[in-house]
Amino acid sequence: MKKSIAIGFVLCSFYCVAQQDNSKSPASFFSKETPKVLVVGTFHFDYPNLDAMKTEDNNKIDVLQEPKKSEVTELVSYIKKFNPTKIAIEARPNWKAGEKLKRYKKGEFRQERDERFQLGMRIANELKLDTLYSIDVESMDADLAQRDSVYITKLFKDFDFQHEDPYVKMFLDWFAHDEKLPKSMSLLTYFKRINSREAHRLNYGAYLVGDFKLDDTRGADILSVWWYNRNLRIFRKIQQMKANPNDRILVIIGNGHAAILRNLLESSPEYQYVEFEGLK
């Protein structure tokens, strides 16, 4: 009796393993021939200081002056290893990226510090691309404000990045440390740092503390119609670029956006996410 049980157990184990070996992985159901996407998260070279975190004057760099001017060239050369066929930038339609690109090709805007010129247009020009895709958008809270401004004002009450969550202090310490680094290290080294998986993971997490914890779910509701919604809409703009499987899409965007776009692009079966660190 014991012998029969043992034989049955062996046969069952063999059958189960065989069944597992014959199963398909979830990824096998999707095409491997998809566009590659390189997201280059950046700080804003011209320091408009429109974000919640402001850069102190003594931490700012000038990308038009040496040594940073040469470091921009090094960074551009590195990004060009990706050999993009399409370039998307953080701009809205009224910025008129296409018109500006035509003028850039004629020699204009070379003294503009904005990374859209220093990186996006420069790379497009050097690779002889004629189109720049503008993928920035308003978030859903702006739409809701037009419909019910009283409700939106109430929803966003006390949403001011002043929450006493101890994790806010940790993030502020990290951001304060990192904003000093472009002065002391090359831009390429700095970009590899801020576009790492670890940095993007934590940058994403910065929005999940502090004011995210307002009331029961009010902070979560704010994030969903404001920041997360905006990035979902930006991702949708990337989809609307209608790339073919051989395309290589370069996205140049503020690094807070890049952190969420990494998550979306890595999860989507439509694209292959390319690590910034590994360009060859």
Concatenated DSSP letters of 85-101:
SEEEES--GGG-HHHHH
Q: What is the pLDDT of residues 90-116, one digit of tens each?
A: 999 999 999 999 999 999 999 999 999
pTM recorded for the entire structure: 0.90
Residue 161: phi and psi, rounded to 5, are 60, 30
- The residue whose two tokens read 């090709």 is 105
pLDDT at 256 over 60: yes
Cα dist. 13→9, 17, 243 in Å? Answer: 6, 6, 46
**Using CA of residue 61, residue 200, residue 248, residue 140, what is the dihedral sign?**
negative
Q: What is the pLDDT of residues 55-97, one digit of tens each?
A: 899 999 999 999 999 999 999 999 999 999 999 999 999 999 9
Burial category of 271 from C-beta neighbours within 10 Å (exposed 0-12, middle 13-18, buried 19 and up) = buried
pLDDT at 14 over 50: no
Question: CA 271, CA 264: separation in Å to the nearest integer?
Answer: 10
CB 78 within 8 A of CB 277: no
pLDDT at 155 over 70: yes
Q: What is the pLDDT of residues 175-228, one digit of tens each?
A: 999 999 999 999 999 999 999 999 999 999 999 999 999 999 999 999 999 999
Sheet of 133-134, strands arranged across: 133-134, 86-89, 248-254, 36-42, 272-274
pLDDT band of residue 52 (cuts 50, 70, 90) is low
| Three-state secondary structure call for residue 59 | helix
Residue 88: phi and psi, rounded to 5, are -115, 140
